[in-house]
Amino acid sequence: MSTWNTKNIPGQTGRVAVVTGANSGLGLVTATELARHGAKVVLAVRNTDSGEKAAAGIRQSAPGAELEVRRLDLASLASVRAFAEKLTADYEAINLLVNNAGLVILGPRSTTTDGFELHMGTNMLGHFALTGLLLDTVGKAAAPRIVNLSSIVHKTVTVDLDDLMSERDFDGSTAYRRSKLATTAFGLELDRRLRAAGSPIISVVAHPGVTKTNLTPRSVQENSFIQRLFARIYALNAQPVEQGTLPQLYAATAEGVRGGQFFGPSGRGEQRGHVTEVHASAQAADPAFGRALWSAAENLTGVKFL
């Protein structure tokens, strides 16, 4: 695993992959590499102009790439439902779902169109609903996988299920970190449920360490000097996006990957480096927490599965 890179990606011809947030950062590199290796890739993006620009760029590095741009706003359950409805009508089987999209907004508390705290609603609940709505179609494909994007910062918080929407003590950074803990717990609980159901789908989790993308600069627009300084230090530490994407590409494509595994960079503090297996925080890995979170997510989104 230590020297694994994009040259090791097995042929993806005949596979259909859906990548959320495929117009930018880690999602764009994921979509590019999957397409370069022969997959048909659906770029699930909230802004289709930006998605079409990304697709044009991918075609330059992967001539003949099979790409489709579709609109998906994870901050709206109506958009998630519309996306899933059209996709499942058009595709009999989906081999790979990469729940990659995510955002950090360090400003005042805001909500999705359904009233969920923006980070929890977009990063976790949107992907929870999407996964549930696509699950049957994913289950019909050969060697099906679902990958969820975690972050090392999930280890710096805990989630109180009585305050999933951070109404009691909001700050943007904490809310983002909580959403990443919930996403990690979701990915691990998903695999436990898939195994219990005898499903062929495996659920794998990955994190990119500290990677230079649009995530941090965008999050600090219109914010304080300290936040901009923090972002500058973050950017200086960050590894190139091609390197940061390897854990999720490994999770999505490498042979021998098992459901419930979690991959990240091997360097100090898991911030950068080669792909290795890493561990989730105690709460994210706790099956009792996973079950309770699942039931909360089902109630909030109205999407019930497994």
Ligand X SMILES: NC(=O)c1ccc[n+]([C@@H]2O[C@H](COP(=O)([O-])OP(=O)(O)OC[C@H]3O[C@@H](n4cnc5c(N)ncnc54)[C@H](OP(=O)(O)O)[C@@H]3O)[C@@H](O)[C@H]2O)c1
Report the first-to-last Cα separation within the chain, whole angstroms: 32
Is there binding between residue 73 and ligand X (CB under 6 A)?
Answer: yes
User: Residue 11 CB, nearest distance to ligand X (Å)?
Assistant: 25
Taking the C-alpha atoms of residue 138 and residue 141, their distance in angstroms, rounded to an integer, is 6
Is there binding between residue 273 and ligand X (CB under 6 A)?
Answer: no
Binding residues among 94-113 for ligand X as defined by CB under 6 A: 100-103
Partners of 71 in the beta sheet?
A: 45
Is there binding between residue 265 and ligand X (CB under 6 A)?
Answer: no
Instruction: Answer yes or no: 176 catalytic.
Output: yes
Q: Which two tokens stand for residue 282?
A: 């105690």
Nearer to ligand X (CB atom), residue 190 or residue 199: 190
Listed ranges 33-41, 192-200, 205-213, 224-232: which one lies at the site for ligand X (CB under 6 A): 205-213
CA nearest 6: which of 271, 243, 207, 267? Answer: 243
Taking the C-alpha atoms of residue 214 and residue 91, their distance in angstroms, rounded to an integer, is 31
Q: Which of 18, 67, 215, 257 binds ligand X (CB under 6 A)?
A: 215
Nearer to ligand X (CB atom), residue 150 or residue 199: 150
User: Residue 302 CB, nearest distance to ligand X (Å)?
Assistant: 18
Nearer to ligand X (CB atom), residue 96 or residue 199: 96
Alpha carbons within 13 A on the beta-carbon side of 131: 32
Residues in binding contact with ligand X, number by CB under 6 A? 30
Q: Which of 203, 211, 243, 281 binds ligand X (CB under 6 A)?
A: 211
Q: Name residue, tokens 């805001």.
A: 110
Q: Which two tokens stand for residue 121?
A: 């609603």
Could you tell me the CA-to-CA distances from 35 to 9, 47, 214 in Å, in that order? 11, 20, 22
User: Residue 122 CB, nearest distance to ligand X (Å)?
Assistant: 5
Listed ranges 17-25, 34-42, 88-96, 290-298: which one lies at the site for ligand X (CB under 6 A): 17-25
160-164, Cβ contacts within 8 angstroms, sequence gap of 24 or more? 161/289, 161/292, 161/293, 161/296, 164/117, 164/120, 164/296, 164/300
- What does the per-residue mask of binding to ligand X show for 141-170, with x meaning CB under 6 A? --------x-x-------------------
DSSP 8-state code for residue 165: T
Listed ranges 31-39, 70-78, 167-175, 279-287: which one lies at the site for ligand X (CB under 6 A): 70-78
Nearer to ligand X (CB atom), residue 239 or residue 253: 239
Listed ranges 67-75, 90-98, 166-174, 291-299: which one lies at the site for ligand X (CB under 6 A): 67-75
Nearer to ligand X (CB atom), residue 25 or residue 187: 25
CA nearest 260: which of 240, 280, 276? Answer: 280
CB 127 within 8 A of CB 148: yes
Is there binding between residue 178 and ligand X (CB under 6 A)?
Answer: no
CA angle 42, 253, 191 (to 5 degrees): 90
Q: Which two tokens stand for residue 94?
A: 């989906």
Catalytic residue list: 176
Contact set with ligand X (CB under 6 A): 20-21, 23-27, 46-47, 50, 72-75, 100-103, 122-123, 149, 151, 207-208, 210-211, 213-215, 218
